[in-house]
């Protein structure tokens, strides 16, 4: 047997046989040569025996390696086909291999994907240049493009690209993932975040992002809120923008990452304090933990709250003063009826023959009654009695000059008086009561100096619109529209008042003076209110006081030609109607002493009956009576066609007569208590007309 030929044949079989069939093919050759079990028998030379054994071992190793390669290829194929991503290998855009998921993703067969044409037709035209540029730059990483399927439909694809080699050949491996749903969700999240941000911006004036207590971003009009540019605030500590007294509390919220709302006060670079409400939550910004604080500006709310408190205080003060006014008016009414008897009796006694001692006593009674009448007049002024008498234009320049002459020795000698009265400062009112207001204000200003050197400034000027002080002033409601007003201000540099004192100065019988009776400012308020004006007060301890009085303006000053002389007394019948017997008795005595015939009635119904039976020449009628009061009697008489002259008189009327009666419904008004000359003079004047 040619053993060398056998070895050559075995070697050729090993080279030509498939790797997994190599051991079986070698043994088949040995069997064909009659070598049985495959290895040469004892007659075979040892070199041949060893060579055959080596060939068989090599064949077995090759078979094992081939099986391992097949298994590795199978695993790679399974991993590639089972991947959720499409995978392709390409050289300069020409695809040399791809997995099945990529083919299914693009809608092509595996064979259709291979080659240089797949990439241009599978990318949106607007994205193709960018992809080619990344290929040229050997870019490695992820990016998103719009891919095009075979049917022309589009989807968003994320490409993860990496440079590699295949053997020694450089290739690019790309993983393609359909991210259409992810992009849709991202867009929805972005829209939702935008809506939430818009909602937050609507709910809050400013949104602040902070991290570790440092401001990192804002949303909103930062400069409009803080008064500082956005760039100057980013990077600053949150605590540095908070008012000192709130820093500890805000610091605890930041350190403990508390969520929820709380009130605080911020301070901007100009030092302005900004009251705010803050709602803080934990969130993320750019993927990192952050604190989001919604800030709501409470400046307007605080101002509104302060105005509401001031309005409530003003309302409470007005209600208290109104209640006191009702009480004061009631006291004055009853007291005035008593004073009619006291003063009238004293005047009648003074006409009789008396001893010097008795005459002195009667004079003391009359003087005491007049002083009491002055106090009741102030009570009535405070109560807001509107029957002030005749109103006329009053030149404040002339009135103040007269007043200063009267006060020459009364004002403090250490007070420097500054006066600035405009030429057109003319008010419409009752001269005597306006004089009383100025008198009280100047006297109080002088007393406020307390004997120290200081200033008293008096000014008066015309204004068309009341300033902010009169929104919550005391007195009549001042309209906000344009009008004709005179603003009178009396300022002093005296001791001033605290809030508690300022809130009570217009109460009757409240006084800061040791000997004061507390009716001066109360009367001023009533007089100003009766004129349709208002009073505002500004004062602080150690800073003096300013009393601002707003009164209706008049266009011109009308000079009176002088009061007409009273008509001579003549015969006449007078009906006196009053529910107080002391008033009836006193008026009867006075009128009968002057030659008049007098009849009496104690209520309105009785008076109407007497007038129907026999109309008198004049009716002297009390305004305030139980049952049918004086104004109702007047209306009833005029409704019946009775034109008998009527003179009303009253110690107090809680409603102004001009609101209850027409001006031509009665002929005159007389305030209680009155003097004999006042009563008789008015009756003569009415009867003469």
DSSP-derived secondary structure for 537-568: EEE-TTS-EEEEEEEEB-S-PPPP--PPPPPP
CATH 3.30.70.141 fits 573-688, yes or no: no
Percent of the chain with pLDDT over 70: 78
Please report which helix (H) or strand (E) contains residue 421, including its range. Answer: strand 415-421
Burial of 5 (0-12, 13-18, 19+ CB in 10 A): exposed
184-297: CATH homologous superfamily?
Answer: PAS domain (3.30.450.20)
Residue 636 is predicted with a pLDDT of 92
Domain ranges in the chain are 3-80, 83-178, 184-297, 302-382, 392-552, 573-688
Q: What CA–CA distance (Å, rounded) separates 559 from 394?
A: 10
Contact criterion met (CB below 8 Å) for 295 and 208: yes
What does the pLDDT read at residue 381? 58
For the chain, the residue count is 689
Domain 184-297 in the same topology as domain 83-178: yes
Predicted local confidence at residue 21, as pLDDT: 66
pLDDT computed for residue 567 by the predictor: 44
**Backbone dihedral angles phi then psi of residue 163, each to the nearest 5 degrees:** -85, 140
What span, in angstroms and rounded, lies between the C-alpha atoms of 374 and 495?
A: 29
Peptide bond before 673: cis, by omega within 30 degrees of 0? yes
pLDDT at residue 487, rounded to an integer? 94
- Which CATH fold topology does 302-382 show? Helix Hairpins (1.10.287)
Q: Which CATH superfamily is domain 83-178 in?
A: PAS domain (3.30.450.20)
Weakly modelled stretches of the chain, pLDDT under 50: 38, 385-387, 559-569
What is the pLDDT at residue 388? 52
Best CA proximity match to 342, nearest among 314, 377, 368: 368
pLDDT of residue 148: 95
Strands of the sheet containing 597-601, edge to edge, are 597-601, 573-577, 618-622, 646-650, 668-671
Looking at residue 378, its pLDDT comes to: 59
DSSP 3-state assignment of 465?
coil
Alpha carbon distance 122, 117 (integer Å)? 9
Q: Give the bridge partners for 281, in sequence order.
A: 292
Residues 177/157, Cβ–Cβ less than 8 Å:
yes
Q: Residue 117, SS3?
A: coil
What confidence score (pLDDT) does residue 561 get?
43
Architecture of domain 392-552: 2-Layer Sandwich (3.30)
Sign, Cα dihedral of 74, 79, 82, 83:
negative
Q: What is the per-residue pLDDT for 568?
A: 45
Note the pTM of the prediction, 2 decimals: 0.42
The per-residue pLDDT for 506 is 81
Q: Which two tokens stand for residue 577?
A: 């109607």
Q: How far apart are CA 424 and CA 422, in angstroms?
A: 5
Phi-psi map region of 293: left, alpha, beta (phi>0 left; psi -120 to 50 alpha): beta
Sign of CA dihedral 307, 310, 316, 320: negative
């Amino acid at each position: 047997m040619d053993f060398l030929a056998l070895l050559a044949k075995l070697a050729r079989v090993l080279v030509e046989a498939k790797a997994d069939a190599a051991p079986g093919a070698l043994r088949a050759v040995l069997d064909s040569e009659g070598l049985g079990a495959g290895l040469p028998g004892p007659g075979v030379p040892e070199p041949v025996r060893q060579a055959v054994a080596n060939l068989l071992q090599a064949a077995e190793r090759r078979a094992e390696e081939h099986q391992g390669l097949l298994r590795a290829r199978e695993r790679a194929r399974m991993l590639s086909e089972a991947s959720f991503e499409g995978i392709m290998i390409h050289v300069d855009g020409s695809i040399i291999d791809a997995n099945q998921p990529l083919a299914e993703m693009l809608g092509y067969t595996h064979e259709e994907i291979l080659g240089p044409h797949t990439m241009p037709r599978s990318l949106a035209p607007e994205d193709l240049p960018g992809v080619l540029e990344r290929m040229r730059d050997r870019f490695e990483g992820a990016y998103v493009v719009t891919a095009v399927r075979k049917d022309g439909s589009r989807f968003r694809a994320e490409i993860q690209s990496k440079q590699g080699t295949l053997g020694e050949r450089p290739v690019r491996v790309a993983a393609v993932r359909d991210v259409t749903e992810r992009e849709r969700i991202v867009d929805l999240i972005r829209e939702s975040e935008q809506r939430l941000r818009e909602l937050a911006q609507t709910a809050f004036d400013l949104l602040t992002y902070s991290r570790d207590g440092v401001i990192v971003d804002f949303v909103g009009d930062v400069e409009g809120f803080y008064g500082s540019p956005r760039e100057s605030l980013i990077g600053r500590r949150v605590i540095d923008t908070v008012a000192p007294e709130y820093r500890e509390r805000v610091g605890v919220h930041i350190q403990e990452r508390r969520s929820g709302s709380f009130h605080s006060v911020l301070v901007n670079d100009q030092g302005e304090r900004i009251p705010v409400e803050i709602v803080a939550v934990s969130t993320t910004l750019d993927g990192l933990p952050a604190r989001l604080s919604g800030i709501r500006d409470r400046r307007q709310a605080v101002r509104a709250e302060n105005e509401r408190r001031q309005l409530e205080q003003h309302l409470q003060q007005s209600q208290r003063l109104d209640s006191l006014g009702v009480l004061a008016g009631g006291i004055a009414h009853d007291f005035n009826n008593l004073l009619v008897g006291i003063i009238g009796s004293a005047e009648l006694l003074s006409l009789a023959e008396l001893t010097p001692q008795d005459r002195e006593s009667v004079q003391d009674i009359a003087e005491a009654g007049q002083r009491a009448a002055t106090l009741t007049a102030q009570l009535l002024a405070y109560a807001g009695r509107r029957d002030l008498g005749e109103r006329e234009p009053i030149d404040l320049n002339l009135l103040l000059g007269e007043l200063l002459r009267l006060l020459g020795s009364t004002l403090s000698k250490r007070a420097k008086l500054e006066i600035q009265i405009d030429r057109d400062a003319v008010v419409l009112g009752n001269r005597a009561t306006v004089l009383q207001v100025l008198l009280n204000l100047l006297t109080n200003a002088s007393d406020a100096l307390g004997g120290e050197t200081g200033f008293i400034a008096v000014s008066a000027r015309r204004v068309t619109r009341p300033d902010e002080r009169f929104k919550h002033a005391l007195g009549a409601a001042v309209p906000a529209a344009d009008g004709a007003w005179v603003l009178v201000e009396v300022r002093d540099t005296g001791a001033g008042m605290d809030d508690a004192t300022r809130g009570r100065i217009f109460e009757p019988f409240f006084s800061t003076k040791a000997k004061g009776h507390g009716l001066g400012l109360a009367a001023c308020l009533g007089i100003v209110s009766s004129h349709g004006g208002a009073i505002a007060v500004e004062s602080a301890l150690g800073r003096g006081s300013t009393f601002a009085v707003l009164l209706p303006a008049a266009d011109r000053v009308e000079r009176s030609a002088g009061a007409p002389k009273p008509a001579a007394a003549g015969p006449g019948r007078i009906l006196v109607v009053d529910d107080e017997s002391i008033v009836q008795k006193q008026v009867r005595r006075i009128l009968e002493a002057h030659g008049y015939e007098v009849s009496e009635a104690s209520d309105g119904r009785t008076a109407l009956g007497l007038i129907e039976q026999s109309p008198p020449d004049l009716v002297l009628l009390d305004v305030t009576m139980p049952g049918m009061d004086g104004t109702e009697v007047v209306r009833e008489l005029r409704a019946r066609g009775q034109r008998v002259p009527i003179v009303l008189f009253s110690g107090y009327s809680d409603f102004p007569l001009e609101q209850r009666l027409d001006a031509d419904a009665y002929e005159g008004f007389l305030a209680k208590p009155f003097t004999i000359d006042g009563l008789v003079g008015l009756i003569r004047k009415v009867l003469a007309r």
